[in-house]
Chains A and B, each alone.
Chain A
């Protein structure tokens, strides 16, 4: 079972204005359990496009945030557009500004850097994530394939697929 072990790090400024290392535990608090990920069109779609000699858009890379509060994985709308993903449903989603608004559903595959296995999320919901510096919220549909250990004390997560 492939295992990814990440300890978070970063830099900040002390009151004197000097750049200092941020302890891993604080870095994990500040940014959350983020991972470098690539988003691609789901295997089922990509395979059919290849069979038909149609182009498959290259995967896009960015930051994904593990969100155990999300029942389904969300993908940034702009990334989905760039990947030319087919819309396979439209569902209603609550957001901070709207009680309910329609959002597209896309079939995607997420690959986490450092792990050799991509996971298909056949029903990822579109969301405006780019403004948060993210391309994906990794939800419980993806996490259903994983074992995760969150060690806040030392600022580490361990993910096994």
Chain B
């Protein structure tokens, strides 16, 4: 199965440089190959995305987005275990 938002992320990558200049610090809302709008807060972009597309997927990203890995130590190191050996 294709990854969600593959088209939107590709479109973002193709336009990120120009958007960084034109919409510094803003959050973009992208659907398909269309820039729907730019917003100061992710919440506003999400609200507009939900208004237009309901629960369909849509891309909300800061124009300064980087492709660095999200590193959650408990998950990355496999040391998360909220279960106890004893009933608690």
Interface residues of A (CB under 8 A from B): 8-13, 22, 27, 30-32, 34, 41-42, 44-45, 47-49, 51-52, 54, 63, 65, 67, 69-72, 74, 84-97, 99-100, 102-104, 107, 120, 122-123, 125, 127, 132-134, 137, 139
- Residue of B at shortest CB range from A107? B46
From A8, A97, A132, B88 is in contact (CB under 8 Å) with: A8
Interface residues of B (CB under 8 A from A): 3-5, 9, 42-44, 46-47, 49-51, 53-61, 67-78, 80-88
Interface of A (DSSP majority class): mixed
Residues of A within 8 Å of B74, CB to CB, are: 67, 69-70, 137
Contacts A10-B87, A86-B56, A93-B72 given; does A45 touch B9 at CB 8 Å: no
Residues of A within 8 Å of B53, CB to CB, are: 86
Q: Are A90 and B70 in contact (CB under 8 A)?
A: no
Contacts A10-B86, A30-B84, A31-B82 given; does A49 touch B46 at CB 8 Å: no
In the bound complex, how far is the Cα of B81 from the Cα of A63, in angstroms?
A: 12
From B4, B42, B54, A123 is in contact (CB under 8 Å) with: B42
Residues of B within 8 Å of A89, CB to CB, are: 5, 59-61
In the bound complex, how far is the Cα of B81 from the Cα of A54, in angstroms?
A: 38
From A34, A90, A100, B9 is in contact (CB under 8 Å) with: A90
- Residue of A at shortest CB range from B42? A122
Listed by A's residue number, 8 A-B pairs whose Cβ atoms lie within 8 Å are A30-B88, A44-B50, A63-B82, A86-B54, A90-B3, A122-B60, A132-B81, A139-B72
- Residue of A at shortest CB range from B67? A92
Q: Are B72 and A127 in contact (CB under 8 A)?
A: yes
Contacts A67-B72, A96-B76 given; does A85 touch B55 at CB 8 Å: yes
Residues of B within 8 Å of A93, CB to CB, are: 69-72, 75-76
Residues of A within 8 Å of B71, CB to CB, are: 71, 93-94
Q: Are B58 and A86 in contact (CB under 8 A)?
A: yes
In the bound complex, how far is the Cα of B51 from the Cα of A127, in angstroms?
A: 27
Residues of B within 8 Å of A11, CB to CB, are: 86-88
Q: Are A87 and B5 in contact (CB under 8 A)?
A: yes
